[in-house]
Homo-oligomer: A and B are copies of this chain.
């Protein structure tokens, strides 16, 4: 029956993403450009439509303009549906007072009406800051076959890194026996990916319980999951293998972009699993007579007259003659001036790097230090931004 939805998704896109600094000053984290023509939220949204889930509520309260206008009517993701589709869900006033979202669980709690209106059997809970391709329908089928109350997607991480994650300890049938948030001595390496499927009736019950608990911080990881476990609910782990990356920091954002240049890590050429995005209508990119481009991604509307290697160049970006771009990310409509040198750097949307300016540099020793030029920032001719520096104001020549 068409009007009833079997499974809908709720996408938590409210995070301020303060660890991304100047990049999230004017937009929510899920709206950050990624991979040449995408924004982070394209990944969960495309995963949804490719998994047959056409009803997605996007919970947002922080700097929603860029995200809202990016999502628009949902058409790029084939979610401009008459029934279902993508809905932006901000906090609202009930009765006399309004209440901001105080935690992930509270955000879902405040939207119980939205979920009830769609009357689903199952609710898929997603984050807006992960890069991966995943068939949620397979996970849903396991959830149904297991008659689970909740199913949590887990990824095996290197044991030495396990203490940075929420770790799920499961028995041999995959039933979760214990959940430890960032354990000092992890018992397993199955890290929660922040992707949950709940049987809606059950989740609804626990959301209401949790809301009444004055000591709860209204968070899924801290409150709902432990409480359901304690109550002996049937919680299953779903093993995911494949590329998955949290891009919540400058370093991980840079790394995930660089990962796209490596073959076989994350295949975006997959006709059966397209990642959709909203792009401005621009001509194919142009590479000039004096340009060189190797081991890089380029997309529509960009113009390269300089020397680009090991980099990701977004739509509308322009690299002038003589400019050198290495191991860098040049975001939409950014301009790199003549003979400028950009290395191990992220240049934000619409930033202007002047002629002969120098942004970042190769690592002397140890990990690379990524330089960041914020969106709309102007770096004057001959100015210098040192490795690891983050510029949130215009940079004068030194």
A residues whose Cβ falls under 8 Å from a Cβ of B = 60-65, 68-69, 72-75, 80-82, 85, 87-88, 90-94, 98, 100, 113-114, 117
Taken together as a complex, chains A and B put the C-alpha atoms of A75 and B80 apart, in Å, by 10
A and B contact pairs by CB, cutoff 8 A, 10 listed: A61-B93, A65-B92, A65-B114, A69-B117, A73-B74, A73-B80, A73-B82, A90-B92, A91-B91, A93-B100
Q: What residues of chain B lie closer than 8 Å to A62, measured between beta carbons? A: 92-93
Taken together as a complex, chains A and B put the C-alpha atoms of A113 and B88 apart, in Å, by 17
Contact across chains for A91 and B90 when beta carbons are under 8 A apart = yes
Smallest CB separation, A110 vs chain B (Å): 11
**Which of B63, B69, B87 lies in contact with A93, CB distance below 8 A?**
B63
Q: What residues of chain B lie closer than 8 Å to A93, measured between beta carbons? A: 61-63, 100
Q: What residues of chain B lie closer than 8 Å to A92, measured between beta carbons? A: 60-65, 90
Smallest CB separation, A327 vs chain B (Å): 33
Q: What residues of chain B lie closer than 8 Å to A87, measured between beta carbons? A: 68
Smallest CB separation, A107 vs chain B (Å): 12
Q: What residues of chain B lie closer than 8 Å to A88, measured between beta carbons? A: 88
Given A62-B93, A72-B82, A80-B80, 8 more pairs with CB closer than 8 A: A62-B92, A65-B113, A72-B85, A73-B81, A73-B82, A75-B82, A91-B98, A93-B100
Taken together as a complex, chains A and B put the C-alpha atoms of A68 and B117 apart, in Å, by 12
Q: What residues of chain B lie closer than 8 Å to A80, measured between beta carbons? A: 73, 80
